[in-house]
Amino acid sequence: MADATVRTGTELIPSSAATTLTVNGRDYTLEFDPRASLLDVFRERLGLTGTKKGCDQGQCGACTVLINGRRVNSCLTLAVMHEGDEITTIEGLGNPAQLHPLQAAFVQCDGFQCGYCTPGQICSAIGMLDEVRAGEPSHVTADIAAQKIELSGPEIRERMSGNICRCAAYSNILAAIRQYAEAGQEAH
Amino acid sequence: MRSFTYERAADSASAVAAASRPGAKFISGGTNLLDLMKLEIERPTHLVDISRLPLAAIEDLPDGGLRIGAQAKNTAVASDMRVRTRYAVLARAVLAGASGQLRNKASMGGNLLQRTRCPYFYDTAAPCNKRDIGSGCSALGGFNRSHAILGASDACIATHPSDMAVALSALDAEIEAVDERNASRRIPIADFHVLPGDTPHIETTLRDGEMITAVTLPPAPPGRHAYRKVRDRASYEFALVSVALVIDTQDGRITSARVALGGVAPKPWRSAGAEAALLGEPATTTGFRAAADRALAGATPRGHNDFKIDLAKRTLIRTLIDTAEQAEGA
């Protein structure tokens, strides 16, 4: 574990006071450099390596997690800013023994090749579907004042544009999200 | 990233007091600031976290306008039914920018303060007058396809990246800010962003330590709203050209017109010339062409971005045809 202060070059960098982060329902109290991104704290300090670092500048979406139910890029936010927030990473959604239904849909639909973007795709899709359910419009929503958003292919594509897949498994990612969303509707 | 100290502001008064320290900066969504801090283009020594201040409300104003708190997330603004029905151009502009993840984090105030995406500004090995005063402009003789054709100077031809601000410009928004003495003032958006001139490192009239608290919108102008964005990808890309338009017609003549352009200038580019050319004229393609010529009068292309003059004209004409024709039928 890191010390309360971190020496870099000749500078003594003040660490944050002990901060409690709530990740996947569990509280972690630790001290870290205020410069630490949420992403780096997951991976380097909490052992939660499911969240992936792609570009580290908010362009690829591989680091997407849910904060208070909203999808965000964990590379572009400071961990110290998230005390008290409910954070969900891919580890909080499912595990190899018990896949989240959307993870299962990705497997069934072959929604990945290398898999590096997949945790971000899945967290993003979960947040995205909640946004649709809440009636939040997108760039391609024809009637911006519509109360209800229809989950069409173009809507999913537009809303998932913040998640890049370098293997270009897009058509199968779309299929997996649709399959999961349609199954959810039947269940209601 | 350079080291800094961090504090979470308890209220607005302590936030502005904390930000009066030399080297201090506010942080809210952080989606642009942290990116620039990683590259050490931004080097604050103290960060004042204002993201939890109770400044996220969207409220009706007695005059029929709307007041949007500076801490309202971009998603919240675009999803608000009052924005969607009364200020559709704003909802459309917000949704045309960034990605779902970024809009969930980015704040109203921060969106206004985001810095240019000029690749030379980001390339710390290249001269850039905005980043390193007096070092020169690499874009002038460089690959300047994305750069400004209006309002730029020989010191800087970077564009302002915000879509949202283009709509706010068409809507005559005002920016509310408080200073370290807690004195409040309102800045019309036309006076908020400044042109580069010889000082491209100065981008707004916001003073050191001043904090944006809200954006107020006067009652919406009459007519139909449109925001059209032309870019290299269908989604998640900055504008080459964008048009914010609110236009009304009566008996085939234009009775009200608001026109602002994005992606072409160092600030959201409200076009008084285009509006004057449209007002009182028949809503015809001939008139729209004249307005587009007025909007781009005096444009200075820089080589790779020569195409932007025609692209901006055509985008404006197409948006006028689509929107004004609909207005006639309505």
Q: How far apart are CA B248 and CA B224, in angstroms?
A: 6
Which CATH code for domain A101-182?
1.10.150.120
Residue A25 CA, distance from chain mean position: 16
Look at A12 and B153; give whichever has higher pLDDT: B153
> Residue A15 has what pLDDT?
58
What is the average per-residue pLDDT within A136-141? 98
- Looking at chain A, the whole-number percentage of residues with pLDDT higher than 70 is 89
Q: How confident is the model at residue A4 (pLDDT cuts 50, 70, 90)?
A: very low
pLDDT digits over A46-97, tens only?
A: 999 999 999 999 999 999 999 999 999 999 999 999 999 999 999 999 999 9
| Pairwise CB contact (< 8 Å): B235 & A11 | no
How many residues would you count in chain B?
Answer: 330
Q: What is the pLDDT of residue B326?
A: 56
Asked if the ipTM is above 0.90, the reply is yes
Whether residue B327 has pLDDT greater than 90: no
**B chain contacts of residue A11, beta-carbon cutoff 8 Å:** 3
Has residue B28 got a pLDDT over 80?
A: yes
Is 80 exceeded by the pLDDT of residue A187? no
Interchain CB distance below 8 Å, A76 and B30: yes
Mean pLDDT computed over B96-106: 98
Which tops the pLDDT comparison, B326 or A11? B326
Is pLDDT above 90 for B330? Answer: no
Contact between chains at A73 and B102 (C-beta distance less than 8 A): yes
How far apart CA B136 and CA A125 sit, in angstroms, is: 44
Find the closest chain A residue to B32 by CA distance: A76
Please report the number of interchain residue pairs, chain A to chain B, with beta-carbon separation below 8 angstroms. Answer: 109
Asked if B92 and A144 come within 8 Å (Cβ–Cβ), the reply is: yes
Q: What is the 3-state secondary structure (H, E, C) of chain A?
A: CCCCCEEECCEEECCCCCEEEEECCEEEEECCCCCCEHHHHHHHHCCCCCCCCCCCCCCCCCCEEEECCEEEEHHHCEHHHHCCCEEECHHHHCECCECCHHHHHHHHHCCCCCCCCHHHHHHHHHHHHHHHHCCCCCCCCCCCCCCCCCCCHHHHHHHCCCCCCCCCCHHHHHHHHHHHHHHHHHHC
Q: What is the pLDDT of residue A14?
A: 55
Q: Which residue of B has its CA nearest to A136?
A: B79
Query: How many residues does the structure list for chain A?
Result: 188
Is pLDDT at A3 greater than 60 in this prediction?
no
**Hey, is B10 helix, strand or coil?**
coil
Domain ranges of chain A: 5-92, 101-182
pLDDT at A6 over 60: no
- Residue B79 is nearest to which of A11, A76, A136, comparing CB atoms? A136
pTM above 0.90, yes or no: yes
The two structure tokens encoding residue A35 = 């410069």
What's the pLDDT band for A184 if we cut at 50, 70, 90? confident
Q: What is the pLDDT of residue A9?
A: 36
> Which one of 3.40.50.300, 2.50.20.10, 3.50.50.60, 3.10.20.30 gives the CATH number of domain A5-92?
3.10.20.30
| pLDDT of residue B211 exceeding 50 | yes
Pick B101's closest partner by Cβ from A16, A56, A72. Answer: A72
Contact between chains at B100 and A162 (C-beta distance less than 8 A): yes
**CA–CA min distance A183, chain B (Å):** 23
- To the nearest whole Å, the CA of A155 is away from the closest chain B CA by 11
Q: Which residues in chain A are closer than 8 Å to B49, comparing Cβ atoms?
A: 81
Region B164-171: what's the mean pLDDT?
98
**Mean pLDDT, rounded, of chain B:** 96
pLDDT, mean of residues A141-153? 96
Query: Are A71 and B1 within 8 A, CB to CB?
Result: no
pLDDT of residue B169: 98
In the structure, what pLDDT confidence band is assigned to residue B243 with cuts at 50, 70 and 90?
very high
In this model, does residue B181 exceed pLDDT 50? yes
Report pLDDT digits (tens) over A7-59. Answer: 333 344 455 578 999 999 999 999 999 999 999 999 999 999 999 999 999 99
pLDDT at A11: 40
The average pLDDT across B272-279 equals 98
Asked whether the domain spanning A101-182 has the same topology as the one spanning A5-92, the reply is no
